[in-house]
Homo-oligomer: A and B are copies of this chain.
């Protein structure tokens, strides 16, 4: 069939005006935050109901058309990029919060609900949706589930997976499955819900998700601590973790801090320059807890692990301290960074970071390297900034040459080549550094169960069938 004929058929499946083929839409909806691939979708379709999603998937099977799910398109692995004439299925019109139950602390969301919309909704109920990250203002719940989004509060609250009470999905075969019925306990065979979480849309599309909420945190308080070297961050983590229930433990390098302070809209935490900074957060629910935090800070200073520090005394100060960490990604995007999102178990972080640092220093002596990340859960973001006078192509080509060495080191430490950004297309060819050949074969066979014709986001995670 011609492209035109396919689009004509697609038009019959959704409401008028809900298929776009203009150049600007194809460009906008065909990509995510990665910049490696040129978007080239056939069309963008906007379903408004589960039935329309099913109709699109069944049609795609019949016509052997590839589908790419599209949420907030804030992904960093090109999992939502349509570069090969696919039909993009965008969930912008399935963006309603459908129900709330105060006793179950659950919210039924359509996949297009923005993360921040859910966070705000929870706050309005006196509750809390604890999954949070820099792109929460535009990422969507469907995408969060597709990548099992993590972020800055994982040390306490876990990944998105922990907050998915139930899912309605349309599989690659077009079947509607209601998975887990929002139950806390349900031992009736395989928990297929778990398979769809983190599957990057390769098994099916989420059409409804029941998300759990938590009680609201009580007087969240942050500290920023400057350390004399990276190695000191780990004993600081352990000292605080032993005394307090931490809600976050992040780190950033002096270069990351300098970039954010260079914006001019965020105050410095303190004047003493330090090579590394830890940002930690806890609920100062009583004065006792706050005093415990200060005593632990003093202990860390005495041990020589901390040079200087500050503790938030107000909501405004809390926000300002968090900006030091949360603005990094957006701020450095100006330099078209080459991003690596890697993880190891927490105990291996110091040795691992030293090894990676040595490789990077040797191979990129002329590039600026910015480290930051979620050190409390072993997740490091390694960002290499493009020199202003170098072309994007040359820069990425040079970065790619060192990938193998970085990933070999990840493999040596039994780590993950993608801690929370997913595989998509950018990590696809490196999957073997984190998953064995046998695992990959089982994954492909599982995909074939749910998507026998290979129409669901083909070429993501593994090469297209």
Complex contacts, A175 vs chain B, CB 8 Å: 438, 442
Q: Is the CB of A374 within 8 A of B185?
A: yes
Complex contacts, A345 vs chain B, CB 8 Å: 101, 104, 106, 181-184
Complex contacts, A194 vs chain B, CB 8 Å: 191, 194-195
A/B interface sample: 20 pairs, CB < 8 A: A154-B185, A158-B162, A176-B438, A181-B434, A183-B415, A184-B343, A185-B377, A185-B416, A186-B416, A186-B418, A187-B198, A188-B431, A189-B439, A190-B203, A191-B195, A192-B443, A194-B195, A215-B245, A286-B286, A442-B450
Complex contacts, A195 vs chain B, CB 8 Å: 190-191, 194-195
Contact with B along A340-359 (1 / 0, CB 8 A): 00011111000000000000
Interface residue A386 (Cβ < 8 Å from any Cβ of B): no
Which of A331-339, A396-404, A419-427 binds B?
A419-427
Q: Is the CB of A189 within 8 A of B431?
A: yes
Cα–Cα distance between A209 and B187 once the two chains are bound (Å): 20
Complex contacts, A378 vs chain B, CB 8 Å: 183-185
Interface residue A414 (Cβ < 8 Å from any Cβ of B): yes
Cα–Cα distance between A106 and B346 once the two chains are bound (Å): 11
Complex contacts, A221 vs chain B, CB 8 Å: none
Q: Is the CB of A187 within 8 A of B286?
A: no
Interface residue A112 (Cβ < 8 Å from any Cβ of B): no
Contact with B along A148-188 (1 / 0, CB 8 A): 10100010001101100000000100011111011111111
Nearest neighbor of A182 in chain B, beta-carbon distance: B345
Complex contacts, A234 vs chain B, CB 8 Å: 103
Mark A residues whose CB is within 8 Å of B: 101, 103-104, 106, 147-148, 150, 154, 158-159, 161-162, 171, 175-179, 181-192, 194-195, 197-199, 203, 215, 234, 238, 241-242, 245, 286, 288, 343-347, 374, 377-379, 414-423, 427, 431, 434-436, 438-440, 442-443, 445-447, 449-450, 461-462
Q: Is the CB of A162 within 8 A of B162?
A: yes
Complex contacts, A215 vs chain B, CB 8 Å: 241-242, 245
Partner pick for A434 among B188, B415, B434, CB 8 A cutoff: B188
Partner pick for A343 among B177, B179, B183, B192, CB 8 A cutoff: B183
Q: Is the CB of B435 within 8 A of A188?
A: yes
Q: Is the CB of B414 within 8 A of A181?
A: yes
